[in-house]
Amino acid sequence: MSDRENETDRDEAPELDEEWFKNARKASEVLPDLVARARARARGQRGPQKAATKERVTIRLDIDVLEAYRAGGRGWQTRLNDDLRALKEKEMAH
């Protein structure tokens, strides 16, 4: 089944005319808990994690290594983590 087949037929969707907008209610009235949780978080901030998957650590790295990762732009910490994981897996395979 294609994504198109899962879509609601546009002819079945209500027309958003003046009457519809006149009767519309604020999201905070319809879903107050959801709106309150959304407002409690800063934009772009993740929600609570179910389980900790990362640990904040302090590590000393050679300046040239750190500069090389940072030069790659956003995501440099993830790339460093991925490289460390690959090295760990390679070492454990031997």
Q: Which tokens go with 2?
A: 């294609």
Distance of CA 39 to the CA centre of its chain: 16
Specify the higher pLDDT residue, 45 or 12: 12
Q: Which tokens go with 41?
A: 């978080």
Mean predicted confidence (pLDDT) in 25-30: 94
Nearest one of 64, 91, 72, 69 to 80, comparing CA atoms: 69
Mean predicted confidence (pLDDT) in 31-60: 84
- Residue 71 reports pLDDT greater than 70: yes
Specify the higher pLDDT residue, 54 or 81: 81
Dihedral sign (CA 60, 61, 62, 66): negative
